[in-house]
Amino acid sequence: MSTTTVQDLSNVHELISDLFKWPQNPEEWEQYQLSDEQVAFFQENGYLSDVKLLGEWQVDQLRDELEDLTDPDHPGNSLFYEFHSNESADPNATLFHSLGHWRIKPGFHDILWNPAFVMAASQLLGDASVRFWHDQLFCKPARHGGVVAWHQDYSYWTRTVPMQHLTCWVGLDDASTENGCLHYVPGSHRWGLLDKPELAGDMEGVMDYLTEEQKAGFKPVPVEMKRGYGSFHHPLTVHGSYANHSERSRRALVLNVFADGTQSDSNDEVLTGVPPIKKGNTMEGQFFPLLYQA
C-alpha cells in the first residue's frame, strides 16, 4: 500500500471533478426541483423516497472509490471521523460503517454539491440554505450483512440545535427487502424525541421507548429502490434496516445536512478530530461548508 499523503478535501468547498455540473441560472436549476406533491408527502409522512440523484456512470465511479475506502490500510484512513470495518458485535453479521469519506475521495466529496441533492434538501428544509453536517457509509455484504436498528437520527445529534436537520440515503446497489433495504415508520416524525438504541444492536430495541399508542402506529414501510436513487427523511422519523441474507451486497451512502444557522450545543468535539465549536456558536467553517444558498 502506498504511503503517499492524501489531500484533505475538507479544505475545498466546491466541485473538484466532472462528476456533477453546477447550474448557472434559474432555468438550469428547475430540472432538479421537487414537485409540490413530493414536498407535501414528506411533510405528512416524514420521508420521501425514489428521488433520482445519480446516473449509472456516477454510481460506478463511487463504487470504485468505495472499494478503496473500505481498506483499513488506505493512506487516507486517518481522515475518517469514524471507521468501523464491522460495527456489529456479531462477527457473522457485518455492517461496515464510516464517517468522513468526503475528505478523502473526489467523488464522495463532490456528491455534497450534487445539484439534485442540494435543491431537494433546500425544499424539504423549508426553502432554507443548506449546510453540511456529516456523511456516512453503510455497507452490508452478501449473505451476512448486519442490521441497522430502529432509531431516529436526531437522537444522536442533540449536540446541534435547533433541530432543523435532514438525512439523505443514496443506494449504490439496488435495495430490496431481500438485501436489507431501508424501512420507515410513516408519521413517526411527530412522536417527539426518543431515547437512542445501539445502532447495530437489537433491531427491536427502540420498542422499549415507545408508548402503547406509538406501538400501535408502528407500521414500517420498506423502501425498495434502484441504485442511484435516494430517500430523504426528517430527523425524528424512525427508520432501520434488516439483515442481508441475499446473494447481493447492499451498499449505501448517507448525506446529513442542516439549515444554515444551526448552532453547537456542546463545548466538546461534535465530530472526532474536528476542533470544538463553542456552545452557542454557528456550525460553519472547514468541516461544515455551505452547500446551497437559498
Backbone angles phi, psi at 289, to 5 degrees: -70, 155
Average pLDDT over residues 75-80: 91
Q: Which residues of 167-189 are buried (b: 16+ CB within 10 A; e: fewer)?
A: bbbbbbbbbbeebbbbbbbbbbb
pLDDT at 74: 87
pLDDT at 94: 54
Q: Which of 125, 158, 109 is nearest to 42 (CA)?
A: 125
> pLDDT-derived band of residue 2, with 50, 70 and 90 as boundaries?
very low
- The CA distance from 190 to 265, in Å, is 23
pLDDT digits (tens, 9 = 90+) for 211-257: 999 999 999 999 999 999 999 999 999 999 988 888 998 899 999 99
pLDDT at 140: 84
Question: What sections of the chain are H helices per DSSP?
Answer: 26-30, 36-45, 56-69, 106-110, 115-124, 212-216
**Domains of the chain listed by start with CATH number:** 32-70+78-292 (2.60.120.620)
Tell me how far CA of residue 204 lies from CA of 132, 155, 175, 212, in angstroms. 30, 16, 21, 15
Q: Which residues of 45-66 are buried (b: 16+ CB within 10 A; e: fewer)?
A: bbbbbebebbeeebbebbeebb
> pLDDT-derived band of residue 258, with 50, 70 and 90 as boundaries?
very high
Grid cell at residue 209: 421507548
